[in-house]
Structure 1
Amino acid sequence: MSLPVTLAATPSENASPMTGISGWVVDVMESIGAPGAGLLVALENLFPPLPSEVILPLAGFTASRGSFTLVEAIFWTTLGSVVGATALYWIGAAVGRRRLRLVVAKMPLVDLADLDRTEEWFARHGRATVFLGRMVPIFRSLISIPAGIERMPFASFVLLSAAGSLIWNTFFVLVGYVLGENWHIAEQYAGIFSRVVLVCVVLVVVWWVARRLRRRSRGTQGPGTAG
């Protein structure tokens, strides 16, 4: 008689307890259904502390429990991604190039020439950047703002954002669906990837600041040494 009880307890022994943000996410999805997953992903774009690496596997996990279908999970999370990205696009458009240049002009270590080069680069590679950026932690949300500032054609922006988000969302939703109670494994590996990206960004920023300070130091020492 005790054997069925032991077998039934086995999955939960290896599963993460649904507490904190994970429990809240599942509650929202089970209460609202697949549109709830889309709403959470849209909010994740606007408020990065809500990580997609948690929401998407949980959407797959919730689908595996029968709350909604796998197709619904992918559709609504991708729609939520596009809605969130679109909101950030229009925020960037509202800021505009003129305001951005005024801000950059007052920033230390940054010249308007740097902004000009960035705009030229974005004009050449903006489409690929938006598409690939939707699959990179940290940049997933941020990439929409320069796209809005540069007024990338809105239809192209939506299509590229939807395509990139569809790939990213499908992968994590499927992983969560297959792993079921062990959905947290996907979160762990995604967290490692996110930290690697963050470290790379920090290293690039440190290198850029050091290079800029060294260049300015040489510029200020030049006239003195010549005299």
Structure 2
Amino acid sequence: MCGRFALTATPEEIEAMFALLDVVAFPPRYNIAPTQPILMVLAGERQEPGANRPDRRSLLVRWGFIPAWAKDTKTFPLLINARAETAIEKAAFRNAMRHRRALLPASGFYEWRRNGKERPQPYWVRPKHGGIVAFAALMEMYAEPGGSEIDTGAILTTAANGDIAHIHDRMPVVIQPEDFSRWLDCRTQEPRDVIDLMRPAQADFFEAIPVSDLVNKVANTGPDLQRRVEPVTAPREPAKKAPAADQLTLF
């Protein structure tokens, strides 16, 4: 599962990696949480074979996928992730898998290791050699009953590789730069044609750094969230009933 991530690269770095003519301006963000705006890259309207530069666009979407057919968003579950193994078949994601595959730029993501009665230990999981990583994502535009429209999205996840499995059994699907065009091409590449891209990242791609529980609170947004700490081994405190709006209930 991916329930928090960060994007601290500059717009210029995003433009260069994803071959964008321009990108939506954004500040460094160290603790991106569900329902917040997230940056996605999609294929543009004109896909000309043999063009020197791919036609791609960036946009901000709400992190929390809403299928076009959803009736009541207040009771509809918050879909922040889609399982790669079943997204092609699931009614919620089937249409987006065919028509609106996207890339989500990130500097890394957070995951929590849970071990019996010990407190959950957060980890900052980033590419071992730094830089930007592209997660496979899905985008859907939802038309609200009042007539307004909202762009929404979810991150595709798959089984964790050996670098992450000791922390959690799921991880985001990583799309390599050489596969960007094929993943985004929803005109000639059907979902069955890109199944091979929805696999765990290669071994040694990520490193997992233990960090403090400051990341647990959405209000904490500074770079200190990614500072290495000694893993905690203290017993977990008795669970308290969290408010309905508490994002920690998503984990």
TM-score scaled to structure 2, two decimals?
0.19
Normalized per residue, the structure richer in helix is 1
Normalized per residue, the structure richer in strand is 2
Higher normalized contact order (CA 8 Å, seq sep 6+, divided by chain length): 1
